[in-house]
Amino acid sequence: EDKVVQSPLSLVVHEGDTVTLNCSYEVTNFRSLLWYKQEKKAPTFLFMLTSSGIEKKSGRLSSILDKKELSSILNITATQTGDSAIYLCAVEWYSGGGADGLTFGKGTHLIIQP
Amino acid sequence: NAGVTQTPKFQVLKTGQSMTLQCAQDMNHNSMYWYRQDPGMGLRLIYYSASEGTTDKGEVPNGYNVSRLNKREFSLRLESAAPSQTSVYFCASRTVSELINYGYTFGSGTRLTVV
């Protein structure tokens, strides 16, 4: 059974702190790993990672995939209150029949205090 | 605007009632998905459809049926609603030929309460 595990499940930090969110996975037929941010509505896309060791960056957010360790981290530097959200890790899989889809972790609920 | 449209946005059902959640996309995507999200559980796949006329069970299919009416539409039916089906339901679509990173497009969700 495919499994995606995120840690921590919740995190409270102060504005300006740096946070690291973790994601590990056991998925048959791995294609890619995706990070999403969710704020009370549909998840919004952050990163898609397919190659091990290559960091993706977008402003204060960055992410890297380690395919040997079957894991990924999402870093947020100089956090702001607007970063408060649930961060979801999802692994994209494919099946022999040509179908594909996402298996999600439970998410990390990040709260940034002023 | 292009995207995934879900209806209704909110619904309250009594136990045992039936209803259909509608989803339509206008991006000519091949694959469509239904997920449910419960507090602290992330999103769990209910059913998916790789193409028109095909559907497959996901992680939590019990109590649900789906129909891929055409390439645009993918509906989710609850035949006899139960309180355990109280959740937020998200529809998503994806095309296998998409070359950019934004492969999955999510609808805005349907908040369903079964009392």
How many angstroms separate the CA atoms of A28 and B32, rounded? 20
Nearest to A101 among B45, B90, B107 (CB): B45
CA distance B105 to chain A (A): 9
Expressed in angstroms, the distance from the first to the final Cα of chain B is: 34
Residues 23-82 of B with CB under 8 A from A: 31, 33, 35, 40-45, 48, 50-51, 54, 56, 58-59
CA distance A107 to chain B (A): 6
- Indicate the DSSP class of residue A59: T
- Determine the average pLDDT of the residues in A82-98: 90
Number of CB pairs, chain A paired with chain B, less than 8 A apart = 61
Contact A48 B103 (CB under 8 A): yes
Give tens-digit pLDDT for B40-93. 888 999 999 998 889 999 999 999 999 998 999 999 999 999 999 999 999 999
Contact B48 A101 (CB under 8 A): yes
Percent of chain A clearing pLDDT 90 (strictly above): 75
How many angstroms separate the CA atoms of B5 and B3, rounded? 6
Give tens-digit pLDDT for A27-72. 988 989 999 999 988 999 898 998 788 889 999 999 999 999 999 9
- Indicate the DSSP class of residue A83: G
Whether A76 contacts chain B with CB within 8 A? no
Over chain A, what is the mean pLDDT? 93
Q: Where are the beta strands (DSSP E) in chain A?
A: 3-7, 10-14, 19-26, 30-38, 44-49, 56-58, 61-66, 71-76, 85-94, 100-104, 108-113
pLDDT of amino acid B96: 61
Pairing type for strands A85-94 and A108-113 reads antiparallel
Whether A34 contacts chain B with CB within 8 A? yes
CA distance A79 to chain B (A): 23
Give tens-digit pLDDT for B6-38. 999 999 999 999 999 999 999 888 899 999 999
- Determine the average pLDDT of the residues in A17-24: 98
| 3-state per-residue secondary structure call for chain B | CCCEEEECCEEEECCCCCEEEEEEECCCCCEEEEEEECCCCCEEEEEEECCCCCCEECCCCCCCEEEECCCCEEEEEECCCCHHHCEEEEEEEECCCCCCCCCEEECCCEEEEEC
CA distance A70 to chain B (A): 19
| A12's tokens | 């409270």
| A39's tokens | 């704020």
Residue with tokens 């539409």: B73
